[in-house]
Amino acid sequence: MKWIDSLDVALSLLEAHPDVDPAKIRFTDLREWILALDEFDDDPNHCNERILEAIQACWINEY
């Protein structure tokens, strides 16, 4: 999974953290949780606020 795979990342986060309200998560935590996903394999330096917003929006929609 890469940073651009917003929906896939969001679904993995939903599975890994089912009790978390994604609207209340800080981007610093979100980034760390994404990097900790077993399926995630991308350069940590390629992340920015727009990418995190897209992932969070997908997670909120799926939540």
- CB atoms near residue 60 (< 10 Å): 13
Query: pLDDT tens digit string along 3-54?
Result: 999 999 999 999 999 999 999 999 999 999 999 999 999 999 999 999 999 9
Q: In the chain, where are the structural domains located? A: 6-62
Answer for the pair 16, 33: CB distance below 8 angstroms, yes or no: yes
Predicted local distance difference test score (pLDDT) of residue 13: 98
What's the Rg (C-alpha) of the chain?
Answer: 10
Answer for the pair 31, 52: CB distance below 8 angstroms, yes or no: yes
Q: Which fold, 6-62?
A: Arc Repressor Mutant, subunit A (1.10.10)
